[in-house]
Amino acid sequence: MRRADRLFQIIQILRRTARPVTAAALAEELETSVRTVYRDIADLMGQRVPIRGEAGIGYVLDDGFDMPPLMLTAEELEAVLLGAQFVSGRADPELARAAKDLVAKIAQVIPENLRPFVASSPLTATRQWRAEVDAIDMARLRL
């Protein structure tokens, strides 16, 4: 993993949880050493990223830090597409249409190398199968 990617990933990991994350947990997820995490955190703090940490407790990203995500990863894109597929097949017509619109918007802005993920999505292909429909009225759940 490139260093810049790793620094961004540290911010993402801290962003997704309100609890302190230890250097060991960061190192395990990033598949790197704890020492590398210490250096990376120090560099991020030096660049004025509002990270607080305490020995033995872990690191947290202060509220109010605003750095927009740069792009979806292939796994994040797959998660969005699977969620949109689920909603499209089980929701009321308005929400199902919104799921399809979401996929169309994402397809317009993602890099070329990720477009095959969208092109192969069941939402963009003719449906050959019919999933068993739940007995839940999704329109009522949205109220």
Q: What CATH code is carried by the domain that includes residue 49?
A: 1.10.10.10
Cite the DSSP H helix spans in the chain: 3-15, 23-30, 34-46, 74-90, 93-109, 115-119, 138-141
**Are residues 78 and 122 located together in one domain of the fold?**
yes
Does 106 fall in a domain?
A: yes
The structural domain count of the chain equals: 2
Tell me the mean pLDDT in the region 27-44: 95
Closest CA to 103 of 90, 115, 91: 115
Asked whether residue 111 is assigned to any structural domain, the reply reads yes
Q: What is the pLDDT of residue 126?
A: 39
In a domain, 95, yes or no: yes
Q: Is residue 69 part of a domain?
A: no
Evaluate if pTM is beyond 0.85.
no
One domain, residues 78 and 134: yes
Q: Are residues 122 and 96 in the same domain?
A: yes
Pair 137, 89 in one domain: yes
At a CB cut-off of 8 Å and minimum separation 6, what does 84 contact? 99, 100, 102, 103, 121, 123
Q: Which domain holds residue 25?
A: 3-61
Average pLDDT over residues 45-66: 88
